[in-house]
Each structure stands twice: as structure tokens, then as C-alpha cells.
Structure 1
Amino acid sequence: MEPYFIVSLPGDPQPEDTLAKLKLKLKDIEPAIELRIPQLKVGTLDNLLAVADTTEKSDLFIQQVCYRIEKQIYEFQKDEQIPIVDGKKPQDTILQFEWDSSKFNPKNMTLPAIADSITQEASRIDNQMKERAQEYNHTKTQLASMSRKSTGSINVRPLSELVTEKDFIESEKMTTLFIAVPRTNRKEWEKTYEGLTEYVVPRSSRKLAEDDQSILYSVVLFKSVVDTYKSKVREMRYMVREFSHTAEQSVEHTEEERARLEQLSNDQLREYVHWCLASYFQILLLWTHLKIVRVFVESVLRFGLPVNFQAVIIAPNKKNTKKIIDLLNIEYKNLAFTSLTAAAQLQGKDGGAQSASEEKKKKKEAEKAQQAAIAAAGGDKNVIPEDDPSLYPFVFISVPLLVRMAQDNK
């Protein structure tokens, strides 16, 4: 499925006539769906030009936010189903568009204010997404760390998972040490551990656990020689695994913590997916509102005052895109100089009408631009280069489909 696109044309004295004519021209190709655009405040030419520039940049930003949220939804849900909220699909935000006057009141807000408000709301959603993703990823990192320790080597795994209460002997004068010995040094340890210092309990060393690299041994000795014994062990390049029976209570403590983190992770994921689905449609609506602002601004700049234009949304199949654009270019080629008159009107609105000589000069410049476009099209005056919508004689705004929207419409 090709991207949707919005086309805006100057209105007839009766606006519905423009829509009827356009539908008639496209009836054998693709349907043209009316796009209802509220009467926004025009303001000055400088404001229009500024909004045209800022909304083009905001358009790209909001599109990327849409893509990021969509990606999260399908990574978490792991299916090919397009998200539906309240019975609506994502493309319905443009095909069934209604301006939200409660958020962006066209009677009370200027065009720059509406454009800024849309961008700020999109930024807020983007920041919330980053915060929620960070919280969820932090919990996942903690779980992964616990998993690595649980499945890691003898040298790093928590002793609470390897040592039971019966392996630990503690009294007023005696204690137990835990030593990780390389497997290659197993026999050496068994021969020498009793003689590293005095006051080591004979035949007290027991093998508690092992992996591919190391063996965990226990040894019972008097507390008076613990520091000396540790030094001797380290000299032999064995690892003393420190163990506090009060600090590392038991395996149960570790399992409880893991269970808590797993529950927290599941709760965060469920809330995050729910938030993504709701925010997905919110950001799509914001994106559509911004597209509408762009259509309004471009139409006023192109067609002038009073505001009178008709916008439609077209959802073409790939094979029909070029056919539609070529047809519109031919049918509305007489609009090529409309933007010249519009600029004159708007400049006159700002600070007096242009002189006849200035208007004549601008008309010549427009004629040169059109001749360049015709040359670029291979000399065919009926076709304007398809890859440059700015040269079309009508307003053309692309509405890229999100990945799953496109798949759903194939």
C-alpha cells in the first residue's frame, strides 16, 4: 500500500462543487475522501511562513515518535495484528478525521500557538515513553543480573545458593571458610589445606559445588588463624568466598527477591503496553492535526485570500499513485500562477499592495520556474516532475503509512 496523500485545491464559489468535480475525475481510479478543515486564524504572512517552516520539522519529529511507539507495541505483543482501540484502526485517524476543538480551539488560538501546542504534546508523550521504557529496562537489567549470578561460575554465584545451613559451622572459637579452587588444583588443595596454618580441623574440607572451572570447598578452623589462613590461600591463587550468615540469609531470600522483580517486571510490561496502545492513537491524532495545519497554511500561501479551498485524502494503490498525480497535474495546470496572486494578497494584507511593476516582475520569475519544471519533465508541459511535490500546481502533503498500517492495507 502506498502512502496516503492530501490534496488541496482552490474552492469554487460553492465549495461542494470542487469536491464533486474532483471525485468525478478520480472515480475510475481511487475515491477522494473529503477532509474537513476548520477555519483557522490566518495571521500575517510572516506567521504563515514561520508556521510552514516549523510544522515541516515537527512533522518529521512526530513521525519518528509514532514509529518508536509502534515498534514497541509489536515487539511486546509479538503478533502481526494491527492495534485497534475503541473499534478504530490507526488509519481511521486520518480517514475519519475530526478536528479536536477542545484541545486546539481555532477561535481562541493562533496558528503558531496551535502548532506549538501539538509539538509540545508530542514531546510530552515521547518523554513519557522514554521514562516508562527506562523503568522497565532497569527492572529487566536487575533480573538479568540475578540470572547471570545464578548461572555464573562458582567464583561469582551467590553463596546463599550454594551453601546450606548444615555446611556452615560457627561457634565462639571456630568458623567456616569457603574457598573456590581451580579444578586443576583439586588434588593440591586436598593435600595441603590442613597444613597452610595451625589450628585447622583435620579432614574438615568438604566439596560443596563445582562447575567447569572451579570447585567450592569448605574448611573449618579456629577464628584466631582466619586472617593468616586467608593470606596463605590467596598466595596459592585460590579465591576466598566471603560469607556472612546474617547478610546472605538463605536461598529463600534470593528467590523472594527474584519473584518480586519478576512480578514487578510483568506489571510494568502490562502497563507499558497499555500505555503504548493508548498513546499510539494519541500521537497519530496529533500527527494528523499537524498535517491539517500544514495543509491549511500551504493552501493559504498557494491560493490566497479569502480562505477558500477544498482538501481531500486519497489512499491509492501503488499502481495508481503516478496515474493520479499525472491526472491532477494536467487537470489543474492552470493553478501554476495562483501562488503569485496569493503572495501579493498576503503582502498587501501585511502592509499595502504591491506595485504593478513588482507584480509583473514576480510573474516573470514564476514563468521561468514553470519553464524549468517543464524542461525537467522532458518538455511535456502537462507533466510536472513526480519526485518534487513543491512543483505541483496544487497543495500536496504526504501521509506515510506506519509499517503495520501498510501491511494491513495490502
Structure 2
Amino acid sequence: MPSSQYIFVSLPQRIFDDEPLSSLAGTVGRDNGEVLPFAVPSFKIGTLDALVQHADDLAKLNGACEAAVAKVADALKGLDEAAAEQNKVVNDKPTDHYLRSFKWNNVRYRIDRPLGDLIENLQRELQTIDNDVKGKYNQYNSVKTNLAALERKQTGNLSTKSLTPIVDPKLLVQDSEYLETHLIAVPTNARKDFLHSYETIAPMVVPRSSVQVAQDDEFTLFAVTTFKKFSAEFLQKCREQKWTPRQYKYVEGGKEEEQRELDRVAREAKKVWSEALLQARTGWSEIVMTWAHVMTLRVFVETVLRYGLPLDFVSALVKTTPKQARKVKTNLDSSFSYLGGNAFGRDKHGRVTKDDATLTSEMAAAGMSVGDGHEYTPYVYYEFEFP
């Protein structure tokens, strides 16, 4: 199933002779996308300089929304890849349903507030949501890493796994003033070399003290006794031979304690996973709603900058696919490029042809927003896509 892409457009009401949305649907092309109404409230406008600054701030905020929603998508995938798409819901309904039925939340973002206040509010909310999702997801990854380390101790090879359930404490020299026992994991293919040379790689190794403790497919675990004075040298020589010294100290009830710790962390991982998934689902919902409100403000601000006052415009949402979006853009350019006026050159297809530097300077002189790096269009046009 192809992914959806959304396009926000705003056009002057005066250019339409017939019902605007039907006319726009004909321009877009029935096979290229679905044209949906998208109501944009009338906000407090303020000064032209403030509007230009708001346009820049909204472009940056839009980029932050895009990055935040991508991070939440990654979190949902990391938490439950099989159900990641099903978890991308807004108020427990599909994201597409929310955009189709979008209405400005005037309780949360009062339209009688200055645009600057609304933008700051949206910025704060986005940062809070982003931090909440990131914090809980990082907590889950930390617990998950801890659990994996404990599981490796139970299931790894003799060079890494816990020796508590393997080593019989009777094999160890304990409470001796001069001697101590070392446990060495030797690769199985080096077993003969170890038995032939362990007594001579360092001084004061107790002759014939090696005892095979355990064996798996990769390693054989030996116990070797040395004088404490030369223990450090013996262990270093073992490392040089690619034999792995294992740290081990017998603790009464250690085996049972390790299992209890494993069970505890497993329960914690399950609990934090559930919390992280709920936080990511909530984060997706909140960020999509925030992003939709940011896009609404972008459309409004850019509409005022381009078409001026009094406000009389038609705004719409086009649902399409990334592949068909190019055709939508081509059809819109073909029909509405004349809105650029005489200040913009056009080719035979009606597309703007002036170079970017000239275009940018003329737009700035006219008090028009250049946007956030996207190709300029002589009508209000913004693309919107979810990961």
C-alpha cells in the first residue's frame, strides 16, 4: 500500500468562478489526489515585519516537527515493529482521519491570542512531547541492555557467562595466605597448548594444579593455582596467549540471587516497554496534532503575505502519494503560476523561470516569505508527509 503525502494549498477566492474545491479538484486531477476542505481560522495579523518573522519561525518549527515525528516513528518501530503502523494513531483514530476532519483547537490555542504567542506555545509543547518520548524510550533501551547482559551471563560461552552455577567451590583454594586459584577460559583448539605450557608461563605456578571445570563448544574452563605474589604476572601471560581469565568469587546463595536479579530486570523491562509504547503512541498523537496546527499557521501567514488584505482565500488539503505529488504540483503550476504576476518570468508551461537570487531579492523587497529552502511557487503550497 503506497504511503500518503499531503499538500496544503491556499489560493485567492477571486480566481474561482465555480465552487472552489470542485474547481481545484479538477485542476489536481481525480487520479492524482483527493481534494479535501481544510479550514484556516482568521488570526490576529499584526505588522508586516512581524508576519515575515513569524514565517521564518514557523519554517523552523515545521522542521522541528518533522524531525520529532520521525524520532517517534523510529521509537514505535523499535518497540513493536510488527504493530508500528497500527500504533500511529491520533486520539485512537487513524492519522488520516484526524487530518480529514481537522479543526483548529481553540481551547488549547485561542485564536484571539497574538500569532507570536501561539507559535511559542506550540514550540514549548513540541519540546515537552519530544523530551518525554525520548526520555522513556532511552529508559527502555537502558533496561533492555541490562537484561541482555544478564541473559548473556546465563546463555553465553564460558568466556562470558556467569560461573556461579558452574564452579564447585571445593575446587578453589580459599582463605590461604600464599595461594589462590584462578579460572581460565581457554579456546578448545588451544587446550593442548595450555596444558603443555601453563606451568612455565610465569613463576610459582603450582605444578599439575590445573583442573578442568567445564567445557562447551568454544571454550574449556580450567582452575589453576599459583602463589599470590605472582598472580598478576600469571594472568597477564594468560591474556597474551589469548586465554581469558575469569573473575569469580564464591558467594553463598549466589546462583539463586542471580536468577532473582534476572527475573526482576525482566519484569522491569516488560513494565518499561509498556510505558514506552504508551508514551510513543501518545507522542505520535500529540506531535501530529501540533504539526497540523503549525501547518495551519504557516498557510495563514503565507496567505496574508502573498495575497494581502482583506483576507479572502480558499484553503484545501490534497491527499496524494509521493509518486503522484509531482503531477499534482505540475497541474497546480500550470493553472496558477500567473499569480506570480509580472514580476516573475514564466516558461511555456507557466513555471517560474527567474534565478533563485533574483527571485529571493524581489520577494524580500515585496515583503513576501521565501520559505524554508523549498522551490518557490507563486501560490501557497506546502507538502506534509509522515515517516
Note whether the superposition's TM-score is higher than 0.5.
yes
> What is the CA-CA distance between 1:276 and the residue it aligns to?
0.9
Identity %: 22
Contact 1:125/1:279 (<8 A) preserved: yes
Name the CA distance, whole Å, in 2 between partners of 1:5 and 1:306.
25
The counterpart of 2:44, out of the listed 36, 41, 46, is 41
Give the alignment partner of residue 7 of structure 2, picking from 5, 8, 11.
5
Could you list the runs of 5+ residues in structure 1 that have no partner in the other structure? 220-224, 338-366, 404-410
Deviates more, 1:292-301 or 1:95-104: 95-104
Is the radius of gyration larger for structure 1 or structure 2?
Answer: 1
The 5-angstrom pairing of residues 11-410 of structure 1 reads: 11-12=13-14, 18-19=20-21, 21-23=23-25, 28=30, 30-79=33-82, 81-83=85-87, 84=89, 86-107=91-112, 109-151=113-155, 154=158, 156-164=160-168, 167=171, 177-180=181-184, 182=186, 183=191, 184-186=193-195, 196=205, 206-211=211-216, 212-217=218-223, 227-228=228-229, 230=231, 237=238, 243-246=248-251, 249-316=253-320, 321=325, 324-337=328-341, 367=342, 369-371=343-345, 374=346, 377=347, 379-380=348-349, 382-384=350-352, 391-400=376-385, 402-403=386-387
Shift in CA distance, 249/242, structure 1 to aligned 2, threshold 3 Å: farther
Mean CA deviation greater in 88-97 or 152-161: 152-161
Offset at residue 31 of structure 1 (A) = 3.9
After superposition, the Cα gap between the structure-2 partners of 1:208 and 1:48, relative to the gap in structure 1 and judged at 3 Å, is: same
| Distance of aligned partners of 1:175 and 1:260 in 2 relative to their CA distance in 1, 3 Å threshold | farther
1: distance between equivalents of 2:247 and 2:283?
49
Q: Size of the alignment, in residue pairs?
A: 353
Q: What is the CA–CA distance in structure 2 between the aligned matches of 1:258 and 1:6, rounded to whole Å?
A: 52
Residue 62 of structure 1 contacts residue 287 of structure 1 at CA under 8 Å; is this kept in 2? yes
Q: Distance in 2 between matches of 1:398 and 1:132?
A: 30
The one-letter code sitting in structure 1 at the alignment partner of 2:317 is I
Distance (Å, rounded) in 2 between the aligned partners of 1:217 and 1:294: 72
Alpha-carbon distance, 1:232 to partner: 8.5
Q: Give unmatched runs, 5+ long, in structure 2.
A: 357-372
Q: Residue 82 of structure 2 aligns to a residue in which SS?
A: coil
1:52 positional shift: 0.6
Query: Aligned AA for 2:141?
Result: N
Q: Which amino acid aligns with 1:396?
A: Y
Partner Cα distance (2:374, 2:274) in 1: 43
Cα offset, 1:177, TM superposition: 2.8
TM-score by length of 1: 0.71
Give the Cα separation in 2 of the matches to 1:22 and 1:245. Answer: 79
Q: SS where residue 344 of structure 2 aligns?
A: helix
Change (3 A) 1:14 1:40: farther
Question: Aligned-residue CA RMSD in angstroms?
Answer: 4.0
Instruction: Say if 1:61 and 1:85 are closer, same or farther in 2 by CA, change over 3 A.
Output: closer
Higher normalized helix content (fraction of residues): 1
Letter in 2 for 1:143: L
Q: CA deviation at 1:123?
A: 1.7
| 1:107-130 CA-partner distances (Å, limit 9, x unpaired) | 1x2112211221221122222222
> Could you tell me how far apart the structure 2 residues matched to 1:285 and 1:134 are?
24
Tell me whether 50-59 or 321-330 shows the greater mean CA deviation.
321-330
Report how far residue 50 of structure 1 moved. 0.4
Distance 1:258 1:391 in 2: 58
Separation of aligned partners in 1, 2:197 and 2:351: 89
Shift in alpha-carbon separation, 1:329–1:231, aligned structure 2, 3 A? closer
